[in-house]
Amino acid sequence: MNSDIIFQTNHSGIVNTAKFNYNGAKLVSGGNDGIINLFSTENILKNKGNIIPDLKLIKNGHNKPISDLSFSHPLLGNYLASCSYDKKLIIWKEKSPNDYENIYEYKHDSPVKCCKFAPYKYGLIILCGMSNGDITIHQLEKNNQKWINYELKNVHKNEINGLDWAPASSPINIYLKDSNSNLEDDNDDDIYDIEPMKFISCGNDNTINIFVSKNNTINSFYKEKEINIGEIPNDISFVNFVGYTQLCFACGLNNGKCLIYKYYDNDWKNTYEINVGGTIIKINWSLCGTYLGISFKKNENNNEVKFFRENMDETWIEVI
């Protein structure tokens, strides 16, 4: 059964990114026109076709194409991060339904390619990857409600294409917990073991870098692992499904392959390759199980999305 919904986003050009918030009630899109459009998912499902955005974020916003967007976890408040080729990171806060305010703005030395909020257990922290290979980390301090930032120079030799945070709770630790524990209670820190902050990045230098914080502060990150994959990676993403029993990430390559890496015996190992037959643009995991969505450029005029899931024997099949 085909349940695709196609609708106009009201951008005056290419749409570079689109993201759902945590519960899927809102969809935000960013385009080459420098505009951010916010939609109600309910309105999209009801009306389809040509939908007027609930909100356009233009005032106090960006003046060049939007490159990436990220929603915070709702337990920390309703925040939206946007980054752009104008070199700016902007944090927007929802003051009331469909009313967002620019509360933090940081101008970098280079266009910002990607951004991602950290898992909520670490607090309100945002990661940014730049065109010059640098990474910045921005944090809202609880005690004084001021933003601080830290810069990691030359993480990649040139452009950063993707980054993501590892889960705050180790899937292995969750798996080993008492089976009678209520794993649905996200507020019970006795259930989850909080891991050191860890993030992953990929760049045009054909490498994947994994960084870990020594003491869970934004200024104590060190490089734990560098993986040279011999091809340009365009996006990277960790599995965040709490029922999964090990750390796992996927990396989508320029040559059409998506590499699945898992953490075995204290090292990262490439366990499977999915070939979609076209340059991979973006990849994304579902929050429920190991379902992986891959968008790719099939040919000069067509982009496609395919979905895959993992079998018990660690092979992957396409979900039709």
Q: What does pLDDT average to over the chain? A: 88
DSSP of 187-212, one letter per residue?
A: T-TTTSPBPPPEEEEEETTSEEEEEE
What integer pLDDT is reported at residue 175 of this predicted model? 42
pLDDT in tens, 215-238: 999 999 999 999 999 999 999 999
Q: Is residue 128 one of the residues assigned to a domain?
A: no
Q: Is residue 206 one of the residues assigned to a domain?
A: yes
Task: Give the span between the Cα atoms of 204 and 41, in whole angstroms.
Answer: 35
CATH number at residue 290: 2.130.10.10
Q: Is residue 68 one of the residues assigned to a domain?
A: no
Segments forming the whole domain that contains residue 311: 159-320
pLDDT in tens, 102-147: 999 999 999 999 999 999 999 999 999 999 999 999 999 989 999 9
Please check the confidence at residue 212 and state whether its pLDDT lies above 90.
Answer: yes
Give the tokens for residue 185.
């209670």
The β-bridge partners of 178 are none
Q: Is residue 237 one of the residues assigned to a domain?
A: yes
């809202």: which residue's tokens? 140
């951008």: which residue's tokens? 11
Q: Is residue 281 one of the residues assigned to a domain?
A: yes
pLDDT in tens, 156-197: 999 999 999 999 987 654 444 444 444 444 444 444 578 999
Task: Give the span between the Cα atoms of 55 and 51, in whole angstroms.
Answer: 11
Q: Is residue 49 one of the residues assigned to a domain?
A: no
Are 82 and 89 in contact, with CB atoms under 8 Å apart?
Answer: yes
Number of domain units in the chain: 1
